[in-house]
């Protein structure tokens, strides 16, 4: 499985934008880029995913580099409820991987009031 | 509300006892997964299923068995619990096509003494 690299931790102030980077230099052409977050004592929560084009939803935006070797999750206005561990994951729906998610250590996001 | 439901939420077992964790989803998803999460670590895949009647091994399958007799249910069994199986267990399901995001349950916290 292709791996991702994320910073161990990041900090932000409330109501400011947050850009969470992810490197995935060995991504294959059929790998989707997924982002999930996990709040304390809860299961992971889907944030966003994309293949090639930038994506927006009500939670966040996903900016994907043209060569697809990196991506950035953008939280437009951080709130205290956004404090969580954010996981960037590559998932391939085809072949023998059946879209399995391989979790790394993720980025611990701290949001200051 | 649509989603993934896990039962029980908490359980304490003695070494050698057996138990079954139940995962139920009402989104008509084909794919279902069982993960475990140890303290301070990311999730690791135990077993998964790509449809009713099918199961496959994940990253850490030893000591666990699974069954998918009905599309909406995915059962995880521990035949002879060991302290090393103390963990938080998460079930997830996902759809296909545009509906590609995973939905996770809230977890089962299992302690084996």
Q: Would you call A98 and B48 a contact, using CB atoms and an 8 Å cutoff? A: yes
Predicted confidence (pLDDT) per residue in B48-97, tens digit: 999 999 999 999 999 999 999 999 999 999 999 999 999 999 999 987 76
- pLDDT of the residue at B36: 96
Separation between Cα atoms, residue A22 and residue A5, nearest integer Å: 6
pLDDT band at B3 (very low <50, low <70, confident <90, very high): very high
Percent of residues, chain B, with pLDDT higher than 70: 96
Q: What's the whole-number mean pLDDT along residues A19-27?
A: 94
Predicted confidence (pLDDT) per residue in A51-108, tens digit: 999 999 998 999 999 999 999 999 999 999 999 999 999 887 665 556 778 888 899 9
Q: Which residues of A7-40 are buried (b: 16+ CB within 10 A; e: fewer)?
A: eeebebeeeeebebebbbeebeeebbbbbbbbee
- pLDDT of the residue at B40: 80
Q: Would you call A43 and B106 a contact, using CB atoms and an 8 Å cutoff? A: yes
Separation between Cα atoms, residue B8 and residue B97, nearest integer Å: 31
pLDDT band at A30 (very low <50, low <70, confident <90, very high): confident
Beta-carbon contacts of A106 under 8 Å, excluding residues fewer than 6 positions away, are: A6, A38, A85, A86, A87, A88, B42
Q: Which residue did the predictor score with more confidence, B98 or A18?
A: A18
Q: Would you call B44 and A93 a contact, using CB atoms and an 8 Å cutoff? A: no
How far A113 CA sits from the closest chain B CA (Å)? 25
- pLDDT of the residue at A101: 81
Angle at B8 between CA B6 and CA B9, to 5 degrees: 80
Whether chain B has a CB inside 8 Å of the CB on A59: the answer is no
How far A103 CA sits from the closest chain B CA (Å)? 5
How far A18 CA sits from the closest chain B CA (Å)? 22
CA B110 to chain centre: 12
Which residues make beta-bridge pairs with A108?
A9, A85
Segment among A29-33, B7-11, B68-72 with least mean pLDDT: A29-33
Q: What's the whole-number mean pLDDT along residues A14-40?
A: 93
DSSP A5: B
E-strand spans in chain B? Answer: 4-7, 10-13, 19-25, 31-37, 43-49, 56-57, 65-67, 73-78, 87-94, 102-104, 108-112
Nearest to B45 among A45, A100, A106 (CB): A100
- pLDDT of the residue at A95: 54
Whether chain B has a CB inside 8 Å of the CB on A40: the answer is no
Whether chain B has a CB inside 8 Å of the CB on A95: the answer is no
Whether chain B has a CB inside 8 Å of the CB on A53: the answer is no
């Amino acid at each position: 499985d292709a791996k991702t690299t994320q910073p161990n931790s990041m900090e932000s102030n409330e109501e400011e934008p947050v850009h969470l980077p992810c490197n995935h230099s060995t991504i294959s052409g059929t790998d989707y880029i997924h982002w999930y977050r996990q709040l304390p004592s809860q299961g992971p929560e889907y944030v966003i995913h994309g293949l090639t084009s930038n994506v927006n939803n009500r939670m966040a935006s996903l900016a994907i580099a043209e060569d697809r070797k990196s991506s950035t999750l953008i939280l437009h206005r951080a709130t205290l409820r956004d404090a969580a561990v954010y996981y960037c994951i590559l998932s391939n729906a085809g072949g023998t991987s059946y879209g399995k998610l391989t979790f790394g250590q993720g980025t611990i996001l701290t949001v200051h009031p | 509300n649509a989603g993934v439901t896990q039962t029980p939420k908490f359980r304490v077992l003695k070494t050698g006892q057996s138990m079954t964790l139940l995962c139920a989803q009402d989104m008509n998803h084909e794919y279902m997964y069982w993960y475990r999460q140890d303290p301070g670590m990311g999730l690791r895949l135990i077993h998964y299923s790509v449809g009713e009647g099918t199961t496959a091994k994940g990253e850490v399958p030893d000591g666990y068995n699974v069954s998918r007799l009905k599309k909406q249910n995915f059962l995880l069994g521990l035949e002879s619990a060991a302290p090393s199986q103390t963990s938080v267990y998460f079930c997830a399901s996902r759809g296909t096509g545009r509906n590609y995001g995973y939905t996770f349950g809230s977890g089962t916290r299992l302690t084996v003494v």
